[in-house]
Amino acid sequence: MHHGRSIAARLSAGSRSVPPTALVMLSIGSVQFGAAIAKNLFASLGPAGTVFLRIAFAALVLLVLVRPKLGGYGRSAYLVAGLFGLALALMNLSFYQAIDRVPLGVAVTLEFVGPLGVAVAGSRRILDVLWAVLAAAGILLLAPLGAFGGMDLDPLGVAFALLAGCLWATYILLSARTGSAFPGGTGLVIALCVGTVVAAPVGIAAAGSALLDPKLLLAGFGVAMLSSAIPYSLELEALRKIPARIFGVLMSLEPAMATLVGLVVLGERLGIRAVVAVICVTVAAAGASLFGRQAER
């Protein structure tokens, strides 16, 4: 996901000749592959230790690439960037706690309540209400409740995924505010530095001396690149060529890609209920993007 992605102009030069839809699909694949690798690190580092490495490396990569001017902005600008960093750290911590307990495809599907909520919030159009209802139906299919004859998903994992979704909505809103308060990638660098500080105590407590293992550090760097630097760069390039609406539709394929990567990389098979849930949420997210009000884009 999308969670604190960096700017690597190096990638965009080579990506100019690639169709924008392919760039977005590569980005989504990269994010989910990064999440699958992260899940394999949990045994050594724990979810919190893995998040800490990911955010810290993303911050370092960005500091080197963006070389931002960190001083000279107003107090309110720093406050927004700080809150953005807090949301970013808590979102990733919640998401990694979720994928520690439930399959990747299920976690990403549940997490999609965040951006979908932002897309249809405040709309009185009947079409937007229908997308919200369809997504809610998908979420209910995943509810670990006996009343629904539900799947036996870890309720805490489901709760963490939904919390990550709410934090993702907050992240989207704060991301826009941060972008308008700072030039270029400066706000994101500040946010990632704040996120690193927030994640450090829990991450260091969870991982301990494992954080000094060169192999694990290298894997953590890989997760940061796959989940942050590479997708962010690919998306920036894609957004130069396609409207935000179409970009949103393509991003809606994230739950489906997560399900596929979960199966191929982690061997996570989903039951028919979960697959139907993934389809419901994907269609709702795609519909909300495709038929979203033009004026808001």
98: containing domain: 16-296
Contact 185, 66 (CB under 8 A): yes
Identify the DSSP state of 148: G
Any idea which of 45-49, 125-129, 276-280 has the lowest mean pLDDT?
125-129
Listed in sequence order, the residues at least 6 apart from 67 whose beta carbon sits closer than 8 Å to its beta carbon are: none
Identify the DSSP state of 102: S
144-186 pLDDT tens trace: 654 444 567 899 999 999 999 999 989 888 888 888 888 878 8
Does residue 6 sit within a domain?
A: no
Residue labelled with tokens 């699909």: 25
**Long-range contacts of the stretch 122-128 (C-beta < 8 A, 24+):** 123/293, 125/293, 127/287, 127/291, 128/288, 128/291, 128/292
104-152 pLDDT tens trace: 999 999 998 888 888 787 777 888 888 888 888 888 888 765 444 456 7
Does residue 141 sit within a domain?
A: yes
Longest dimension (CA), the chain: 57
Does residue 1 sit within a domain?
A: no
**CA distances from residue 68 to 52, 78, 212 in whole angstroms, order as listed:** 22, 14, 28
Question: Comparing C-alpha atoms, which of 203, 39, 190 is closest to residue 106?
Answer: 39
Contact 98, 53 (CB under 8 A): no
Does residue 11 sit within a domain?
A: no
Does residue 109 sit within a domain?
A: yes
| Cα R_g (the chain), whole angstroms | 18
Does residue 43 sit within a domain?
A: yes
Whether the pLDDT of residue 239 is over 90: the answer is no
Question: Comparing C-alpha atoms, which of 159, 133, 132, 134 is closest to residue 144?
Answer: 159
pLDDT of residue 2: 53
pTM, rounded to two decimals: 0.85
Does residue 51 sit within a domain?
A: yes
Does residue 7 sit within a domain?
A: no
Phi (first) and psi of residue 258, to 5 degrees:
-65, -40
**CA distances from residue 129 to 55, 84, 104, 262, 284 in whole angstroms, order as listed:** 36, 28, 27, 30, 10
Listed in sequence order, the residues at least 6 apart from 37 whose beta carbon sits closer than 8 Å to its beta carbon are: 219, 222, 223, 226, 265
Work out how many domains the chain is built from and give that number: 1
